[in-house]
Structure formats: C-alpha cells, structure tokens
Amino acid sequence: MINAYRLPVIAGLVLLGACASPSKTLQVQKQSQCPIVLHAGQQLILSLPSNPTTGYRWTVQEDAAAVLKALGPEVYSAAEDSDLVGGDGHSTWRFQATEAGEAQLLLTYAQPWDASAAPADTFDCQIRVR
C-alpha cells in the first residue's frame, strides 16, 4: 500500500520523467542549430528560405540516409505575409530518425541548369541519432 506522504513524491517523479523525454518533433530553420541530436523515432522538420520563381532550388546532396528516413518530398509554401506573386517562402522537408549513428545532411541552393556556378547557399549539418 502506498503511504499518503509518498504519493506526491511519486507523482512528481512521473511528471519530471515526462518533462525529460524528448519532443517528438524538432524544427530546424538555421545552420546555427547544428549539429542536431535526435532520438530514434523522433521527427525532424527542416524549413529553409526559398524562392523557386528565381530559378534557385534546394537540392539534397547528402541525405543522411544512414540515420534518417524521408517522410515525403520537399514542400514549398509562400510566406504568410507576402501578397506578391513570386514572393519569398520556405521549402520544408520531414524526416524521421531511424537508428543510432551519425550522418551528414547537405543541401545546396542553386540554379540547377548552371552547374558551373557556386551555390548561393548551403545547409550542411551533422546529424546524430541516439
């Protein structure tokens, strides 16, 4: 039988354990958030500034497939505060951490037809799954 004095202690430990568990989803929007540490089963949502009307596109160069599984294709969405056709927006990818390990997630922002030009931007991030 649980002593009435121990009940608040047990309840507190349960709540503390819930607070310590990782969030099911991690949102990343900047290179400065790297390296990224995930737990197996946790989702990663990567959202980068994008404007495909300029001809520039984000291309996944290294997909960290050893530790991440893509949950679908890239999704582009226009900025909420933009009424302009061809305005800025974001490209978003969803991944799920599959197993423990490390891998590189590398994306480049370039015009695909101009292979001689350097990318306008890159997202290069070490992914660690525990």
At residue 87 the predicted structure's pLDDT band, cuts being 50, 70 and 90, is: confident
Domain locations along the chain:
25-129
Paired with 38 in beta bridges are 129
31: amino acid identity, one letter: Q
Nearest to 95 by CA among 26, 12, 18, 3: 26
Q: Report the pLDDT value the prediction gives residue 17, as an integer from 0 to 100.
A: 42
Average pLDDT value over all residues in the chain? 85
Topology, domain 25-129: Immunoglobulin-like (2.60.40)
| Predicted confidence (pLDDT) per residue in 54-86, tens digit | 999 999 999 999 999 999 999 999 887 666 667
Residue 93 contacts residue 50 (beta carbons within 8 Å): no
Q: What is the pTM of this model?
A: 0.78
Cα torsion through 7, 9, 10, 14, rounded to 10: 130
Banded pLDDT at 23 (limits 50, 70, 90): confident
